Amino acid sequence: MSSTPSQPHPSLGVLPNMTHLNGLSSASSRASSEASLQRVKNLPGYTTPVFKGKEEQRAKVQADVAGKGFIPRELVANEVNWFYSQLGIDDTYFQNESPSVISDHIIALFGAKVLAYTKHDFNKLVIDLEKIDEKGNGATFIHTSLPGLTSTEGPGATCESRIDSLYLDNSTPSNCYRLETFRSTGSISATASQQLRCYFITKCNFPSPPPLSTRTDGLTDIRTVSDTAFLEKASPHTLEVYQKIVWQVESRYGPVMEVFEVEGTRERRLVIGYKMGGTSRFFSALSNLYHFYELYSARKYVEQFSNGITIISLYLNPMPDSTGAPIEHSIFQVMKEASLLYCLPDNPFFLDSVNTGHAVQEATYAYCGWVFAQHFCNRLGPAYLHLKNILDESNPSHAEVLNDIKRRFREETFTRESIAQVIHAHAEIIRLLYVNFAMVHYPAADEASQLGPTLSYQRLQTTQPLSDSELYDKIRRTVLNKQDLQVLESFLIFNKHILKTNFYQPTKVALSFRLAPEFLPEIEYPNKPFGMFIIIGNEFRGFHIRFRDVARGGIRIVMSRNKENYSINQRMLFDENYGLAATQSLKNKDIPEGGAKGTILPSLGAPPRRCFEKYVDAIIDLLIPGQTPGIKERLVDLYGKPELLFFGPDEGTADMMDWAALHARDRGAETWWKSFTTGKSAELLGGIPHDTYGMTSLSIRQYVLGIYKQLGLREKDITKVQTGGPDGDLGSNEILLSSDKTVAIIDGSGVLADSAGIDREELIRLAKHRLTIAHFDKTKLSKDGYLVKVEEQDVRLPSGEIVLDGTDFRNGAHFRFKADLFVPCGGRPEAVNVSNVAALTDTEGKPHFKYIVEGANLFFTQQARLHLEKRKVVLFKDSSANKGGVTSSSLEVLAGLALTTQEYLDLMIFKDAKPSDFYQKYVKEIQEKISENAAAEFHCIWREHARLQGAKPRTQISDELSMRLNNLQAELELSDLFDDVPSRRGVMRRAIPTTLVDQVGLDALLERLPESYQRALFSSWVASHYIYKYGVNSSSVDFFHFARDLAR
């Protein structure tokens, strides 16, 4: 990430506003260099107005205290004087509070002293005063506080976390609070060392309309976005500092941090800025952090601005009798670790640092290992393997038993709580494991900067690092419990398979690790992924798995309805991700990109978009070499090669692809931001939308037409049932492309049926307007036709049957209709499975449908498909039928990689809401390629099924074809066939759409496209065209003849 934001192209007017959580600056690159410190004069950053009515108020308070009669009259004057003059409470308090409230506080303080006296221990003197405004205008909290210590009991233990949850975590520009907190300069009594900590919280008041800006450079003027009380109190220097922080937060991603030295003192001021909502529970976590380094705060401020920015300012001092590192060094470690806290402020392993002694870095490592262990400790082991060998997985009932046992093993072996207990119980082992991790991934000091090692590096040196084998032996000798041992061994496995991480980046919003997948057991994961990422944020966790170097797939957000559902999603997240990526591999068989998939699991209540943005930013950290000291620095990269990932839309992320592409551009991915995501908006970013151009439907259509042609059928005579209505991509395009006799359509709004054939003109009207079947004109139904909406109850059908509940009727409607053809274009995954597939046959065992083309992903389970094929249903599965979308996305990626930014802006982005001639030609060529690929695969499967005289189901042939294509492609990528230049050029000329070759030129394309992508493109084209031509049973001689013609 560059230190200055990239300037948007004029046609990308959305660019400046797309950055949602931007930026993280830090002075950490200046870590130990005294000369580079920013110095400020020893003056308050805020002017506290002198309360002119203080003496008059004091007299009223004294009279009030005396009148209430709780304090002996002869002691009243002394107590009031002590409170006003000796405690050192800021005048803000006296100005804000009424005499009645102050007198109550003085009486409470006196009562606390009496109580402490009766206990004969003045260290037990506890003050806990609070006033929360019922109308939500703010609050005051006052409690006893020992400087430099995190309270574990009493009011101080919860006060700041309550302030976070009540006033800071959910801040929005229209509803936010500013905070001032001071430590009293005097002790609460002559015999107790505690001081009072006072918190004053007030609702922000932003003038409306805001004052006019005095700036002429277009940058934000802080005075136009500030609270009126802040402007009254802030010194000119504070305004200047905050102004710069605001600009940095607006232009980057994450927290901005600066440290200031106060002249003539040892005080350091740490100022942190970030976008509202970027983190939570952060204010209270920062206190735990500086206390760990034996620092205390004299004053703290939280300021909020109407442009959505929060700034925290901490005035930090060393404890007088501190034995820790001097503040001159430790302040930079506080700043560095604040970046980790921003990612994980609510870390149970740091909150327990009093007992474990874990610094933030060790505690953050423990948290990441904890997440890793949750997913990879619960492995199935030899008992499951033995059972797997006995049972027949092709038998549906056996497969179901195995799945149930697998799920139970996962649930019962290790829980989140039991793994956490192991981590808490073995703090010393965790520290050694952290050192083992850090010795590999802690970045080497930049010699040119002439900086001394940071405190965290010095701390590493105090623990004798053990070799892997020594550490393993120590764990085995120390830990006798077998389950505890397995948990701690998983940390060692984690360490050994991390190839790179952003853990030590000065700036980050979530933690990301690129893992080598070799540790995955083959029994559970028979196909080894090429690469995997684990991403851990404060409000989410996520994975990304890909099966080849060049791979593409959607990013799915897995939402949870409740706590129980979240626990299930958490346990199954990796397995779901693995399964989706493996399925994607089957579908991506004839394109350059292999299968990939990403999953994001937000915590309950977490905003999905923020989770997605942090996920993307954390992955980009590992894709772009850092080059900006103190912001994005070079990582330790054990992988050692550039990596390209391609993301697509999936459940919950369809409207986020533009942001991800633009953010990659902001981060400096000049060569690949255009291809980083597919599913981008066409007009703004040159995306190629599948629904607008019917890309997925074109491939489904080739299978339907192929069946008609092979069996000599006329389309207008065919009856059809369809799930997925005219409001959806596949459903609408299936209606627009077909001319059959559709007898039933089932969508989210209900069930539409007519045995005489549903009126096609009315269906076309709905499809063109993308309306659900609920909008169907019922006057166009025959006497036997009906429409049942999900919200309806007790509906009488023409047959006399009563539908009690429309939703229940809709959910099972695909089992009640009979037709020649069934095309699922929507519906839940596994809608037809081993337990209900029998409902698709009548009492005589005759199937309801003769032909099925599975448009919707995973509508049928594998066992259900095989069950139907045994009953002579002609069925083509999803990974063959609906691959048109992935072909389109692949060619969208190719355009992004092949065109320069300027060419892309000129050719792919709409001008005046109209596409260029190039764009229209390119889309037309994509449509032709989709139809060509789908028809080729259809004929290959049909030929092989005929050759085997039906002995092997088409579902199995389709899977074997996919695997054969993927395996051949992988072999070709490793072969030297690509190195034969005439063959390479001949293939590339045919594999790249002519529109692109004519526009850019083949030589320029071969220079621009990354070699890894060229190899993948070459191999996929050769493999698919060879197999589709010669079949899955082809010989080496066939390949020789085929390869001989490549250079032509």
User: Is 597 tagged catalytic?
Assistant: yes
Q: Which residues contact 685 (CB under 8 A, 6 or more apart)?
A: 12, 658, 661, 662, 908, 909
Helical packing angle, 455-462 and 427-441, nearest 10°: 120
| Euclidean distance between CA atoms 413 and 379, whole angstroms | 9
* Dist. CA 540–CA 280, nearest whole Å: 13
Q: Cα separation of 116 and 191, whole Å?
A: 11
DSSP letters of 400-411? HHHHHHHHHHHH
Question: Residue 972 is encoded by which pair of tokens?
Answer: 């070709």
Q: Provide CB contacts within 8 A for 726, sequence distance 6+.
A: 732, 735, 745, 747, 763, 766, 767, 770, 771, 772, 773
How is residue 942 written in tokens?
């049909």
Q: Where are the extended beta strands (E) located within 526-673?
A: 531-536, 540-546, 551-557, 594-602, 646-649
Cα separation, 642 vs 626, in Å, equals 13
If you count DSSP H runs as helices and E runs as strands, how many of each does the chain have, helices first? 41, 25
Residues 930 and 887 sit within 8 Å (Cβ to Cβ): yes
Instruction: Give SS3 for 909.
Output: coil
Chain-centroid distance, C-alpha 854: 30
Angle between helices 563-587 and 396-412 (to 10 degrees): 130
Q: Under a CB-based contact definition with an 8 Å cutoff, are residues 296 and 290 in contact?
A: yes
Cβ contact 869:877 at 8 Å: no
> Active-site residue among 203, 508, 597, 674?
597
Contact 61, 282 (CB under 8 A): no
C-alpha distance from residue 729 to each of 280, 296, 424, 734, 1016 (Å): 38, 59, 51, 9, 29
Token representation of residue 806: 């429309």
Q: Is 116 helix (H, G, I), strand (E, B) or coil?
A: helix
Q: What CA–CA distance (Å, rounded) separates 392 from 401? A: 10
202 backbone φψ class: left, alpha, beta (φ>0; ψ -120 to 50): beta
Amino acid at 982: P
Per DSSP, helices labelled H in 539-668 are: 563-587, 608-623, 657-666
**Alpha-carbon 623 to chain mean position:** 16
Among residues 515, 531, 516, 551, which one has the least CA distance to residue 966?
551
Place of tokens 């054939």: 757
Cα gap 136→124, rounded to integer Å: 33
**Tokens encoding 309:** 């920015």
Look up tokens 């918190």; give the residue: 199
Residue 621 CA, distance from chain mean position: 14
**How far out from the chain centre does Cα 206 lie?**
33
* Residue keyed to tokens 């992004």: 896
How far is the first Cα of the chain from the last one, in angstroms, to the nearest whole number? 45
d(CA 742, CA 718): 8
Cα gap 986→908, rounded to integer Å: 26
Rounded Cα distance, 220 and 173, in Å: 15
In this structure, are residues 315 and 192 in contact, taking their beta carbons and an 8 Å threshold?
A: no
| Backbone φ and ψ of 196, nearest 5° | -95, 135
User: Would you name the residues annotated as active-site residues?
Assistant: 597
